[in-house]
Amino acid sequence: MLTLRWLVPTLMATACAAALAIGQERAGDFRASAVKVDITPSSSKWLAGYPARQSTGVHDHIFHRIVALDDGRTQFFLISSDLCLFAPSVYDEMTARLKRETGIEPLQVWWTVTHTHSAPEVGPHGLLKVIMPERYNHEPDQEYTAWVEKVLIDGIKAARANLAPARLAVGTGFSAANINRRARDVDGHISLGLNPDGPTDRQIGLIRLEHLDGTPIALIANYSMHGTALGQENTLISGDAPGTVATYVEEKLGVPMLFINGAAGNMAPIYTVQPSFDSFHITEFNVLLGDRILTANRSIASATSQVHLRPGEKSVDTPRRAGFGWDESLGNYLRAANGEAGTIRLPVRFLIINEDLALWSAPVELFCEISMNVRDRSPYPHTFYFGYSNGWLGYLATRQAFAEGGYETHTCPFTAQVEDDLTNGVTAYLQGHGR
Same domain for 173 and 125: no
The answer as to whether 305 is a domain residue is: no
Residues 6+ away with beta carbon under 8 Å from 298: none
Cα dist. 19→123, 303, 365, 387, 389 in Å?
Answer: 31, 10, 28, 22, 21
Which ranges of 210-271 does DSSP label H, i.e. alpha helix?
240-253
The answer to whether 216 and 253 are in contact (CB under 8 A) is yes
Which of 130, 145, 165 marks a domain boundary?
Answer: 165
* Chain-centre distance for alpha carbon 415: 23
In this prediction, residue 21 carries a pLDDT of 34
The answer to whether 219 and 300 are in contact (CB under 8 A) is no
Same domain for 178 and 160: no
Q: Are strands 190-195 and 178-184 parallel, antiparallel or unpaired?
A: antiparallel
Q: Give the structural domain span for 20.
A: 3-165
Residues 6+ away with beta carbon under 8 Å from 405: 189, 190
The answer as to whether 346 is a domain residue is: yes
Same domain for 245 and 149: no
In this prediction, residue 435 carries a pLDDT of 59
Q: What is the number of structural domains in the chain?
A: 3
- Residue 339 DSSP SS3: coil
pTM over the 0.85 mark: yes
State the Cα angle at 422 between 400 and 346, rounded to 5°.
120
Half-sphere exposure of 129 (CA within 13 A, CB side): 17
In this prediction, residue 14 carries a pLDDT of 35
The answer to whether 303 and 167 are in contact (CB under 8 A) is yes
Same domain for 11 and 150: yes
Same domain for 44 and 148: yes
Same domain for 136 and 156: yes
pLDDT per residue as tens, the chain (435 positions): 233 332 333 233 333 333 333 333 344 489 999 999 999 999 999 999 999 999 999 999 999 999 999 999 999 999 999 999 999 999 999 999 999 999 999 999 999 999 999 999 999 999 999 999 999 999 999 999 999 999 999 999 999 999 999 999 999 999 999 999 999 999 999 999 999 999 999 999 999 999 999 999 999 999 999 999 999 999 999 999 999 999 999 999 999 999 999 999 999 999 999 998 888 788 899 999 999 999 999 999 889 999 999 999 999 999 999 999 999 999 999 999 888 899 999 999 999 999 999 999 999 999 999 999 999 999 999 999 999 999 999 999 999 999 999 999 999 999 999 999 999 999 999 999 865
The answer as to whether 64 is a domain residue is: yes
Given its phi and psi angles, is residue 379 left (phi above 0), alpha (psi -120 to 50 degrees) or beta? alpha
Same domain for 320 and 202: no
Same domain for 416 and 320: yes
DSSP structural state of residue 303: P
